[in-house]
Protein backbone atom coordinates (compact mmCIF):
# COMPACT_ATOMS: atom_id res chain seq x y z
CA UNK A 1 0.00 0.00 0.00
CA UNK A 2 1.33 3.42 -1.04
CA UNK A 3 -0.74 6.48 -0.19
CA UNK A 4 -0.90 10.18 -0.88
CA UNK A 5 -1.78 12.49 2.02
CA UNK A 6 -3.59 15.71 1.08
CA UNK A 7 -4.37 18.29 3.76
CA UNK A 8 -6.04 21.70 3.91
CA UNK A 9 -7.35 21.98 0.36
CA UNK A 10 -9.73 24.79 1.34
CA UNK A 11 -11.72 24.84 -1.87
CA UNK A 12 -8.68 25.51 -4.07
CA UNK A 13 -9.88 23.36 -6.95
CA UNK A 14 -7.08 24.21 -9.44
CA UNK A 15 -4.40 23.23 -6.91
CA UNK A 16 -6.27 19.99 -6.13
CA UNK A 17 -6.59 19.11 -9.81
CA UNK A 18 -2.84 19.56 -10.30
CA UNK A 19 -1.98 17.49 -7.23
CA UNK A 20 -4.28 14.66 -8.28
CA UNK A 21 -2.50 14.50 -11.64
CA UNK A 22 0.79 14.01 -9.79
CA UNK A 23 -0.86 11.52 -7.44
CA UNK A 24 -2.06 9.48 -10.42
CA UNK A 25 1.42 9.57 -11.93
CA UNK A 26 2.87 8.28 -8.64
CA UNK A 27 0.61 5.22 -8.80
CA UNK A 28 -0.72 5.35 -5.26
CA UNK A 29 -3.29 2.91 -3.92
CA UNK A 30 -5.22 5.40 -1.77
CA UNK A 31 -5.64 9.11 -1.19
CA UNK A 32 -6.00 10.20 2.44
CA UNK A 33 -7.79 13.54 2.84
CA UNK A 34 -6.45 14.94 6.10
CA UNK A 35 -9.23 17.44 6.81
CA UNK A 36 -10.20 21.01 5.87
CA UNK A 37 -11.18 20.21 2.32
CA UNK A 38 -13.85 22.89 2.65
CA UNK A 39 -14.20 26.65 3.27
CA UNK A 40 -12.72 28.28 0.21
CA UNK A 41 -13.60 29.80 -3.16
CA UNK A 42 -14.53 26.62 -5.06
CA UNK A 43 -15.81 24.42 -2.26
CA UNK A 44 -18.69 22.79 -4.12
CA UNK A 45 -16.59 21.78 -7.10
CA UNK A 46 -13.84 20.56 -4.77
CA UNK A 47 -16.24 18.32 -2.88
CA UNK A 48 -17.60 16.97 -6.16
CA UNK A 49 -14.10 16.08 -7.37
CA UNK A 50 -13.16 14.42 -4.10
CA UNK A 51 -16.42 12.45 -4.07
CA UNK A 52 -15.63 11.21 -7.59
CA UNK A 53 -12.54 9.44 -6.19
CA UNK A 54 -14.90 6.92 -4.62
CA UNK A 55 -13.46 4.26 -2.33
CA UNK A 56 -9.95 5.20 -3.36
CA UNK A 57 -10.17 8.19 -0.98
CA UNK A 58 -10.36 8.06 2.81
CA UNK A 59 -11.70 11.22 4.43
CA UNK A 60 -10.74 12.61 7.85
CA UNK A 61 -12.69 15.35 9.60
CA UNK A 62 -11.12 18.77 9.98
CA UNK A 63 -12.37 21.65 12.07
CA UNK A 64 -13.83 23.22 8.93
CA UNK A 65 -15.97 20.19 8.19
CA UNK A 66 -17.23 20.16 11.77
CA UNK A 67 -18.05 23.86 11.61
CA UNK A 68 -19.94 23.53 8.32
CA UNK A 69 -22.14 20.80 9.75
CA UNK A 70 -22.84 23.06 12.74
CA UNK A 71 -23.83 25.91 10.40
CA UNK A 72 -26.10 23.60 8.42
CA UNK A 73 -27.70 22.31 11.64
CA UNK A 74 -28.07 25.77 13.16
CA UNK A 75 -25.76 25.03 16.12
CA UNK A 76 -22.71 27.06 15.04
CA UNK A 77 -21.69 29.61 17.66
CA UNK A 78 -20.12 32.80 16.32
CA UNK A 79 -17.23 34.39 18.21
CA UNK A 80 -16.68 37.46 16.04
CA UNK A 81 -13.64 36.16 14.13
CA UNK A 82 -12.98 37.58 10.67
CA UNK A 83 -13.07 34.17 8.98
CA UNK A 84 -16.57 33.32 10.23
CA UNK A 85 -18.39 34.95 7.31
CA UNK A 86 -16.70 32.48 4.96
CA UNK A 87 -17.53 29.56 7.24
CA UNK A 88 -21.19 30.52 7.49
CA UNK A 89 -21.52 31.12 3.74
CA UNK A 90 -19.92 27.73 3.05
CA UNK A 91 -22.08 25.86 5.53
CA UNK A 92 -25.28 27.31 4.13
CA UNK A 93 -24.40 26.06 0.67
CA UNK A 94 -23.92 22.42 1.58
CA UNK A 95 -26.38 19.99 0.14
CA UNK A 96 -28.05 17.53 2.51
CA UNK A 97 -25.91 14.74 1.06
CA UNK A 98 -22.73 16.76 1.59
CA UNK A 99 -23.76 17.62 5.14
CA UNK A 100 -24.47 13.99 5.94
CA UNK A 101 -21.13 12.85 4.58
CA UNK A 102 -19.16 15.47 6.47
CA UNK A 103 -21.07 14.72 9.68
CA UNK A 104 -19.91 11.10 9.68
CA UNK A 105 -16.19 11.70 9.04
CA UNK A 106 -13.86 10.18 11.64
CA UNK A 107 -11.35 12.16 13.71
CA UNK A 108 -8.62 9.67 12.77
CA UNK A 109 -7.99 6.78 10.40
CA UNK A 110 -5.21 4.18 10.42
CA UNK A 111 -3.77 2.66 7.26
CA UNK A 112 -1.06 0.02 6.78
CA UNK A 113 1.58 1.57 4.52
CA UNK A 114 4.45 -0.29 2.84
CA UNK A 115 7.67 0.18 4.77
CA UNK A 116 6.02 2.16 7.57
CA UNK A 117 3.50 -0.18 9.13
CA UNK A 118 0.32 1.25 10.59
CA UNK A 119 0.13 5.03 10.10
CA UNK A 120 -2.35 7.27 11.91
CA UNK A 121 -3.91 10.13 9.94
CA UNK A 122 -5.63 13.05 11.67
CA UNK A 123 -6.31 16.69 10.90
CA UNK A 124 -4.71 18.40 13.91
CA UNK A 125 -4.02 15.84 16.63
CA UNK A 126 -5.44 12.47 17.64
CA UNK A 127 -7.67 14.04 20.27
CA UNK A 128 -8.72 17.40 18.84
CA UNK A 129 -9.35 18.77 15.33
CA UNK A 130 -8.04 22.24 16.30
CA UNK A 131 -5.03 21.51 18.54
CA UNK A 132 -1.81 23.03 17.21
CA UNK A 133 1.53 21.23 16.95
CA UNK A 134 4.34 22.77 14.93
CA UNK A 135 7.77 21.77 13.72
CA UNK A 136 9.31 23.63 16.67
CA UNK A 137 6.71 22.81 19.33
CA UNK A 138 8.00 21.36 22.63
CA UNK A 139 8.22 17.59 22.68
CA UNK A 140 5.75 17.54 25.56
CA UNK A 141 3.04 19.01 23.36
CA UNK A 142 3.33 16.00 21.04
CA UNK A 143 3.37 13.59 23.95
CA UNK A 144 0.04 14.87 25.21
CA UNK A 145 -1.54 15.26 21.79
CA UNK A 146 -0.85 11.64 20.83
CA UNK A 147 -0.99 9.94 24.22
CA UNK A 148 -2.25 6.38 23.87
CA UNK A 149 -1.64 6.27 20.12
CA UNK A 150 0.04 2.99 19.13
CA UNK A 151 1.14 4.05 15.65
CA UNK A 152 4.77 5.16 15.39
CA UNK A 153 4.08 7.38 12.38
CA UNK A 154 1.43 10.08 12.43
CA UNK A 155 0.33 12.36 9.58
CA UNK A 156 -1.45 15.57 10.54
CA UNK A 157 -2.33 18.88 8.91
CA UNK A 158 -4.05 22.02 10.21
CA UNK A 159 -1.04 24.38 10.33
CA UNK A 160 -0.47 24.43 6.53
CA UNK A 161 3.32 24.01 6.86
CA UNK A 162 5.18 20.86 5.77
CA UNK A 163 7.51 19.15 8.22
CA UNK A 164 8.86 15.74 9.18
CA UNK A 165 10.22 15.36 12.72
CA UNK A 166 10.69 12.93 15.58
CA UNK A 167 8.80 13.92 18.72
CA UNK A 168 8.02 11.96 21.86
CA UNK A 169 9.11 8.73 20.20
CA UNK A 170 6.98 9.16 17.09
CA UNK A 171 7.57 10.38 13.57
CA UNK A 172 5.20 13.27 12.94
CA UNK A 173 4.62 14.32 9.34
CA UNK A 174 2.71 17.32 8.10
CA UNK A 175 2.26 17.24 4.31
CA UNK A 176 1.62 20.99 4.15
CA UNK A 177 -1.41 22.50 2.49
CA UNK A 178 -2.73 21.85 -0.99
CA UNK A 179 -4.75 25.06 -1.16
CA UNK A 180 -3.30 27.54 1.39
CA UNK A 181 0.40 26.78 1.90
CA UNK A 182 2.37 28.65 4.55
CA UNK A 183 6.12 28.73 5.01
CA UNK A 184 8.19 27.79 1.95
CA UNK A 185 8.56 30.54 -0.67
CA UNK A 186 6.62 30.28 -3.91
CA UNK A 187 2.99 29.39 -4.44
CA UNK A 188 2.70 25.66 -5.09
CA UNK A 189 0.54 22.90 -3.66
CA UNK A 190 2.05 20.65 -0.99
CA UNK A 191 1.28 17.01 -0.23
CA UNK A 192 3.06 13.85 0.94
CA UNK A 193 3.75 10.45 -0.59
CA UNK A 194 4.05 7.55 1.85
CA UNK A 195 5.39 4.09 1.10
CA UNK A 196 7.98 2.75 1.48
CA UNK A 197 9.50 6.13 2.47
CA UNK A 198 7.95 9.47 3.41
CA UNK A 199 8.43 12.12 0.73
CA UNK A 200 7.19 15.68 1.03
CA UNK A 201 6.04 16.69 -2.43
CA UNK A 202 5.20 19.99 -4.13
CA UNK A 203 3.13 20.54 -7.26
CA UNK A 204 3.10 23.69 -9.38
CA UNK A 205 -0.08 24.90 -11.06
CA UNK A 206 -1.19 27.78 -13.29
CA UNK A 207 -1.70 30.61 -10.81
CA UNK A 208 -3.20 33.16 -13.19
CA UNK A 209 -5.74 30.65 -14.46
CA UNK A 210 -6.51 29.60 -10.89
CA UNK A 211 -7.06 33.22 -9.87
CA UNK A 212 -9.41 33.82 -12.80
CA UNK A 213 -11.47 30.74 -11.95
CA UNK A 214 -11.68 31.63 -8.28
CA UNK A 215 -12.72 35.22 -8.90
CA UNK A 216 -16.01 33.93 -10.31
CA UNK A 217 -16.88 32.59 -6.84
CA UNK A 218 -19.25 34.48 -4.54
CA UNK A 219 -17.49 33.13 -1.44
CA UNK A 220 -16.92 36.16 0.86
CA UNK A 221 -13.16 35.71 1.23
CA UNK A 222 -12.34 35.15 -2.43
CA UNK A 223 -10.49 38.40 -3.17
CA UNK A 224 -8.22 38.05 -0.14
CA UNK A 225 -7.69 34.33 -0.79
CA UNK A 226 -6.57 34.99 -4.38
CA UNK A 227 -4.21 37.81 -3.43
CA UNK A 228 -2.63 36.19 -0.38
CA UNK A 229 -2.65 32.50 -1.25
CA UNK A 230 -2.39 32.36 -5.03
CA UNK A 231 -0.88 35.41 -6.67
CA UNK A 232 1.55 36.79 -4.11
CA UNK A 233 2.79 33.75 -2.26
CA UNK A 234 2.27 32.57 1.33
CA UNK A 235 3.39 34.06 4.65
CA UNK A 236 6.99 33.19 5.52
CA UNK A 237 7.81 30.35 7.89
CA UNK A 238 8.78 32.84 10.60
CA UNK A 239 5.49 34.74 10.27
CA UNK A 240 3.37 31.61 10.23
CA UNK A 241 5.19 29.99 13.15
CA UNK A 242 4.88 33.13 15.25
CA UNK A 243 1.13 33.37 14.64
CA UNK A 244 0.42 29.68 15.23
CA UNK A 245 2.62 29.52 18.32
CA UNK A 246 0.76 32.47 19.81
CA UNK A 247 -2.59 30.80 19.09
CA UNK A 248 -1.38 27.51 20.55
CA UNK A 249 -0.17 29.16 23.75
CA UNK A 250 -3.43 31.08 24.17
CA UNK A 251 -5.44 27.92 23.64
CA UNK A 252 -3.38 26.00 26.17
CA UNK A 253 -3.70 28.78 28.71
CA UNK A 254 -7.49 28.65 28.40
CA UNK A 255 -7.56 24.90 28.95
CA UNK A 256 -5.55 25.00 32.18
d(CA 129, CA 122): 8
**220 with 89: CB under 8 angstroms?**
yes
Residues 6+ apart with CB under 8 A from 138: none
Q: How many CB atoms lie within 10 A of CB 94?
A: 22
Would you say residue 15 has pLDDT above 80?
yes
For 21-36, write each residue's pLDDT tens digit: 999 999 999 999 999 9
Q: Mean per-residue pLDDT for 86-90? A: 98
Range of the domain at 132: 3-255
CATH for 64:
3.60.21.10
Residue 112: the pLDDT is: 98
**151 with 118: CB under 8 angstroms?**
yes
Question: How many domains does the structure of the chain reveal?
Answer: 1
Alpha helices in 27-184, H assignment, sequence order: 43-52, 63-73, 84-92, 96-103, 139-145
**222 with 24: CB under 8 angstroms?**
no
* Per-residue pLDDT band at 186 (split at 50, 70, 90): confident
Residue 81: the pLDDT is: 85
Residue 171: the pLDDT is: 97
Beta bridge partners of 110: 120
The chain-wide mean pLDDT, for the chain, equals 95
Q: How many CB atoms lie within 10 A of CB 240?
A: 18
Measured at the alpha carbon of residue 6, what is the angle toward residues 230 and 180, in degrees to the nearest 5? 20
For 123-159, write each residue's pLDDT tens digit: 999 999 999 999 999 999 999 999 999 999 999 999 9
**3 with 111: CB under 8 angstroms?**
yes
d(CA 157, CA 174): 5
Largest CA distance in the chain: 47
Give the DSSP letter of residue 40. S
d(CA 227, CA 141): 34
User: What does the buried/exposed string (b/e) look like for 23-55 if buried means 16 or more CB atoms within 10 Å of the residue's CB?
Assistant: beeeebebbbbbbbbbbbbbbbbbbebbeeeee
Residue 94: the pLDDT is: 97
Residues 6+ apart with CB under 8 A from 182: 159, 160, 161, 234, 235, 237, 239, 240
Residue 256: the pLDDT is: 62
Residue 6: the pLDDT is: 98
d(CA 215, CA 200): 30
For 150-172, write each residue's pLDDT tens digit: 999 999 999 999 999 999 899 99
Residue 254: the pLDDT is: 85
Amino acid sequence: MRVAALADIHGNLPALEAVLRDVDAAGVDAVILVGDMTVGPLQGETLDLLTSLGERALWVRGNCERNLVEVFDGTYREAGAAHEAGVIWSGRRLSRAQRDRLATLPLTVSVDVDGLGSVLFCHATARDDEEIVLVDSPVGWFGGAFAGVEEQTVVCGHTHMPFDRLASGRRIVNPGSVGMPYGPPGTVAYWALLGPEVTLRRTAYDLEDAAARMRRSAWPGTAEFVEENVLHGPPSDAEALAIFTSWAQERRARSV
